[in-house]
């Protein structure tokens, strides 16, 4: 289902879930996100459940190398939202995550309530077989439905258990959008790595309108990826 639409070749991520208004950013974790080769991106992926409708249940993704982020020992939801608005280079990744997160959570919520080990086995097996997208509904997931699912998951597992499950869901959400290799680190940093990105133009399979693809083309050009912008433009014309 996924496609390499201006995405980094490899993603290294620290995944945060909190019922508060801020998340900690230990120096050790930030150092673990420093790219070691070209095409690698280190990100903070934060999900809040704090009673604020503007952030609850949605992933906020920011580049950990941004000076605003790298100088912090903790960061609140408002600061993360501002960082998201200022980091146009991550828009393609955010767009893919936003597109698939609600149906992905809805599809795997029941399995997730059995705990992270059961969930991890199913997601790992499905990634290997290429069937991660199989259980996803093609019908839009309403925001009220998404929040009800989040509430159900947290109630079933308590915040600590939900945090471990949400980490794995985010990891394999990256698998859904095009990363064929996903590694979750039980200990150490970073929390996860996603690599082996689908990169062929023939692999493009976007559920997107021409207007949305035009925005992705703009994001690619802003990021300096003119080659991918041209490929997306050809894909848009071929589908029109």
The secondary structure of the chain as a DSSP string is ----SS--SEEEEEEEEESSSEEE--HHHHHHTS-SSTTEEEEEEEEE-SS-TTTBT-EEEEETTSHHHHT-SEEEHHHHHHHHHH-GGGHHHHHHHHHHHHHHHHHHHHHHTT-HHHHHHHHHHHHHHT-TTTT--SSPPPHHHHHHHHHHHHHHHHHHHHHHHHHHHHHHHHHHTTEEEEEE-SSSS-SEEEEEE---GGG------HHHHHHHHHHHHHTT-HHHHHHHHHHHHHH-
Average pLDDT value over all residues in the chain = 88
Give the model confidence (pLDDT) of 4-28 as tens digits. 557 899 999 999 999 999 999 999 9
Report pLDDT digits (tens) over 153-185: 999 999 999 999 999 999 999 999 999 999 999
Query: Residue 233 in contact with residue 216, Cβ under 8 Å?
Result: no
Structure confidence at residue 202 (pLDDT)? 39
Q: How far is CA 15 from CA 64, 67, 77, 207, 208, in A?
A: 12, 19, 14, 26, 27
The whole-model pTM stands at: 0.82
């Amino acid at each position: 289902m996924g496609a390499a639409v201006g995405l980094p070749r490899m993603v290294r991520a620290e995944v945060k879930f909190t019922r508060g208004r801020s998340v900690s950013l230990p120096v050790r974790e930030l150092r673990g996100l420093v790219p070691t080769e070209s095409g690698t991106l280190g990100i903070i992926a934060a999900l809040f459940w704090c009673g604020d409708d503007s952030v609850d249940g949605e992933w906020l993704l920011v580049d950990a190398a941004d000076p605003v982020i790298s100088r912090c020992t903790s960061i609140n939801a408002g600061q993360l939202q501002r960082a998201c608005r200022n980091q146009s280079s991550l828009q393609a990744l955010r767009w893919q995550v936003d597109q698939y997160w609600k149906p992905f959570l809805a599809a795997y919520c029941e399995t997730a309530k059995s705990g992270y080990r059961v969930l991890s086995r199913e997601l790992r097996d499905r990634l290997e077989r290429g069937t991660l997208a199989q259980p996803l509904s093609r019908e839009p997931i309403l925001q009220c439905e998404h929040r009800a699912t989040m509430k159900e998951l947290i109630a079933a597992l308590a915040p600590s258990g939900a945090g471990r499950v949400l980490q794995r869901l985010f990891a394999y959400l990256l698998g859904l959008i095009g990363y064929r290799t996903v590694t979750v680190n039980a200990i150490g940093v970073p929390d996860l790595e996603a690599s082996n990105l689908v990169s062929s133009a023939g692999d493009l399979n976007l559920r997107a309108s021409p207007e949305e693809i035009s925005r992705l083309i703009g994001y690619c050009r802003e990021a300096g990826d003119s080659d991918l912008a041209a490929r997306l433009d050809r894909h848009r014309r071929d589908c029109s």
